[in-house]
Structure 1
Amino acid sequence: MITIAGGSVMADTKGIVRKRHRFLFIAPDANEVCVAGSFNQWDPEATPMKKRRDGTWYAVVYLSPGRYEYRIVVDGIWTDDPNCPTRRPNQYGGTNCIFEQL
């Protein structure tokens, strides 16, 4: 894997370019926060977030250009991201957040 521009862009050995995407979520009382989505096969443990002192959680992933859906998992409970402007209903009665990685 090759890192370019201080870690904001990566290319793997096949030349596929992936750009950095950062997730942020505020949950000061949470013990564990993860992000699950179409980029990690909806695995609620695949992308754990790290907690900052101010109660903000973050995770960084590198993704190819495309449209992705996700949800936040807080202490095992699937949760909506209140900062997500674009959503679509999912089959479980909730909503998935949508973002476009350019």
Structure 2
Amino acid sequence: MKKSKRNKNPRPAQLSCHAPQAQAVSVAGTFHDRYPAATPLARDASGDWDVHLDLPPGRHESKFVVDGTWCCEPGCDGPHHGCPKCVPNPSGTMNRVVDNA
């Protein structure tokens, strides 16, 4: 993951994924040194998980950690062409991208 530049003017951002069968979802990203337990997401009744963060402006890359498994989006990792919010990483998997302009 590319490391984002730190900035003193954070802006709100929302990260979310659909994982109705999951017991726990968190996000690991360039905004907190890819620490998977740092940012847990909250689940709603429809199985959507989300978190609101204040992120520095710029591009951030992350992965969701769904019940201990790292992914760009549940069901949307590895070689594929159907995840518009994800980009390939050097490990051969995908990262979620947040452009927080």
Please, what TM-score do these two structures have when normalized by structure 2? 0.77
Q: Structure 1: give runs of 5+ residues left out of the alignment.
A: 1-15
> Which piece of structure 1 moves more, 73-82 or 87-96?
87-96
Q: Between Structure 1 and Structure 2, which shows a larger proportion of strand residues? A: 1
Q: Please, which of 28, 31, 39 is the counterpart of residue 36 of structure 1?
A: 28
What RMSD, in angstroms, separates the aligned Cα atoms of the two structures? 1.9
Using the alignment, how far apart are the partners of 1:91 and 1:56 within structure 2?
Answer: 28
Instruction: For residue 78 of structure 1, report the CA deviation from its aligned partner.
Output: 0.4
Partner of 1:98: 97
How many pairs are equivalent? 88
Using the alignment, how far apart are the partners of 1:24 and 1:96 within structure 2?
Answer: 14
> Which piece of structure 1 moves more, 58-67 or 89-98?
89-98
Using the alignment, how far apart are the partners of 1:65 and 1:94 within structure 2?
Answer: 25
Instruction: For residue 87 of structure 1, report the CA deviation from its aligned partner.
Output: 3.3
- Which of structures 1 and 2 has the larger relative contact order (alpha carbons within 8 angstroms, sep 6+)? 2
- Identity %, equivalent residues: 34
Instruction: For residue 79 of structure 1, report the CA deviation from its aligned partner.
Output: 1.1
Using the alignment, how far apart are the partners of 1:48 and 1:86 within structure 2?
Answer: 20
Instruction: For residue 92 of structure 1, report the CA deviation from its aligned partner.
Output: 2.6
Using the alignment, how far apart are the partners of 2:55 and 2:94 within structure 1?
Answer: 22
Q: Structure 2: give runs of 5+ residues left out of the alignment.
A: 1-7, 77-81
Instruction: For residue 84 of structure 1, report the CA deviation from its aligned partner.
Output: 5.0
Q: Deviations over 1:64-90 (max 9, x none)?
A: 111110111100000122585243322
Please, what TM-score do these two structures have when normalized by structure 1? 0.76
Specify the SS of the correspondent of 2:46: coil
Using the alignment, how far apart are the partners of 2:47 and 2:86 within structure 1?
Answer: 25
Partner of 1:4: none
Aligned AA (1:35): V
